[in-house]
């Protein structure tokens, strides 16, 4: 497969871990820490409503009086999010994320969250593509 044909499914983090809108920030932080991640898609009644990042949590908790056990993911998450499909072109998604300054794109299929593509995933893919003998293109 050539570079122009790489799809997000080839480089995304599959099976994105999600949180509910009513989940508190303390629990969300624990999920992030336990899984070594920085972005959590937020679902309400099964629908994607936003993305909660470690930065969102840090900003929210920097305000005096905000308690991580009394503040919910829905209250803090970014609602202006980038949603894409597994078959979307890596080049297109990366360019859109850069233009709009997004740290992640939620990957959905038939309305279900199937993965997440973050700037870390983009850097990892770039590193593999720039490495002589990389098998990223051959095995996808």
Can you give the CATH number for the domain in which 7 is found?
Answer: 3.10.580.10
Report yes or no on 138 lying in a domain: no
Tally of domains in the chain: 1
Inside any domain, residue 31:
yes
62, 105, 16: which is closest to 25 by C-alpha?
A: 62
Q: What is the domain extent for residue 119?
A: 3-130
Is residue 140 one of the residues assigned to a domain? no
Q: What is the pLDDT of residue 77?
A: 97
Residue 137 reports pLDDT greater than 80: no
pLDDT at 136: 64
| Placement of tokens 């300054």 in the chain | 101
Q: What is the mean pLDDT of the chain?
A: 91
pLDDT reading at 133 higher than 80: no
HSE, CB side, 13 Å, CA atoms: give it for residue 49: 16
Split at pLDDT 50, 70, 90, the class of 110 is very high
**pLDDT value at residue 2:** 47
In a domain, 96, yes or no: yes
Contact predicate 115/103, CB 8 Å: no
Is the per-residue pLDDT at 129 higher than 50?
yes
Strands 39-44 and 47-53: antiparallel
| Residues 21-68 pLDDT 10s | 999 999 999 999 999 999 999 999 999 999 999 999 999 999 978 899
- The model carries a pTM of 0.87
In a domain, 39, yes or no: yes
């Amino acid at each position: 497969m050539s570079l122009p044909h790489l799809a997000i499914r080839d480089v995304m983090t599959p099976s994105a871990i999600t949180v509910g809108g009513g989940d508190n920030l303390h629990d969300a932080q624990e999920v992030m820490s336990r899984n070594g991640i920085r972005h959590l898609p937020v679902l309400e009644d099964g629908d994607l409503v936003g993305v909660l990042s470690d930065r969102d949590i840090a900003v929210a908790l920097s305000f005096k009086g905000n308690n991580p056990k009394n503040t919910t993911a829905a209250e803090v998450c970014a609602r202006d999010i980038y949603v894409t499909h597994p078959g979307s072109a890596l080049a297109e998604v990366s360019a859109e994320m850069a233009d709009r300054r997004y740290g992640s794109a939620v990957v959905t299929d038939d309305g279900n969250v199937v993965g997440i593509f973050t700037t870390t995933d983009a850097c990892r893919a770039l590193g593999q593509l720039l490495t002589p003998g990389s098998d990223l293109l051959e095995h996808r």
